[in-house]
Amino acid sequence: MSTHEPAVRDVPATVRKTATTLADGRELIYFDDSEPYLSGGDTRELTDTRGLPPASSDAQMRFDVLTGEWVVIAAERMDRTFLPPPDSSPLAPSRPGRPTEIPAGDYDVVVFENRFPSLSRLAAGQTLPPGVDGEPLWPLAPGTGRCEVVCFTSDPDASFAGLSQRRVRTVIEAWADRTAELSAIPGVEQVFCFENRGREIGVTLTHPHGQIYAYPFLPPRTQALVRQAREHRERTGRNLLSDVLAAERRSGRRIVIETEHWVGYVPAAARWPLEVHLAPRRDAPDLAALTGAERADLAAPYLDLLGRVDKFFEGVDKTPYIAAWHQAPVGVDRPLGRLHLQLFSLMRSPGRMKFLAGSESAMGAWVNDTTPERIADRLREVAP
């Protein structure tokens, strides 16, 4: 069986990084790949002229003793910006008389601390009792960590799938940079880069962007993966995710795309009506650990898969999706993890979404409405 291999061109890795501070104290970082900014012939606007009060956060975490999971309580997010008109987007470049989150009048890629974070370094300043209502059964802790926004382009009408390979390489460099920086923050246990696309997913800002969460705990999915990976290593001495990739390649039935450094496949136990994973051939813990060759080789298959996702459903121009980069934990469980992308959609047919009803939401028992093999067949069918 042959699989489509996208053309891989030499995508320059040169990126200029410039950090500044917004009016309320939050950090903003420009990642430039275009001239005159790349060579230093000019600089982006660094001054935020808005009269914002100092950033703060009352985020907290409450421990659910019934599941062994932390629940983040971020009440400040209730009033966050919701689907503003295009000319009022806080992610657009600033204009005279209309300052936004980004002071520059144009930009390539920008990363900044979320104004409405689920987790924040500023939450550490809270004085909290050890338990909710003084009960030791319900541990309570500040919602420390970090939430960042990644703007992929200054064009509000663009999409990630429409970016050039050069720009995707810049985004990859930004992800890798932030993964390394956030992983070094004391108390952070995992860094998660992701993109939500589509109002059906719950997107509140249509400008093409993603987010990065630096968690002070291991999220439930990672906890489950670490548990399974530990049992697998104790039994076999090998890495579970490496063995999964090897098994998918031996089968070949659900392989969708292969390049020199990356393999895309539909997992044998896919949960979603549309789901595909993309993993490096080499064992790499996270985006920061990728070699220059692996980063250069990633842009083409990533864009290829996003293009196929958009063509998966007939009559749907832009398929809503979640692109989730699973990275190895920062701490002692790091050897058990392995970098991989989980790209999936909640759409099960044109205009119809898979709602997480009784079995999935209440019991966590998943039911897929199709087979992984059919998903793989369709993704191969719509290859460019």
Q: How far apart are CA 145 and CA 70, in angstroms?
A: 13
47, 180 in Cβ contact below 8 A? no
Q: Helix, strand or coil for residue 104?
A: coil
147, 212 in Cβ contact below 8 A? yes
Residue positions annotated with a catalytic role: 209
Q: How far apart are CA 47 and CA 51, in angstroms?
A: 12
Secondary structure (H, E, C), 29-54: EEEECCCCCCCCCCCCCCCCCCCCCC
Residue 58, φ and ψ in degrees, nearest 5: -110, 20
The first and second tokens of residue 146, run together, are 């970090």
Residue 238, φ and ψ in degrees, nearest 5: -120, 170
Residue 91, φ and ψ in degrees, nearest 5: -100, -5
| Residues 6 or more apart in contact with residue 32 via CB below 8 angstroms | 15, 16, 17, 18, 38, 44, 107, 108, 109
Report CA 61 to chain centroid distance, whole Å: 21
Q: Helix, strand or coil for residue 221?
A: helix
Running DSSP on this structure, what letter comes out for residue 361? Answer: I
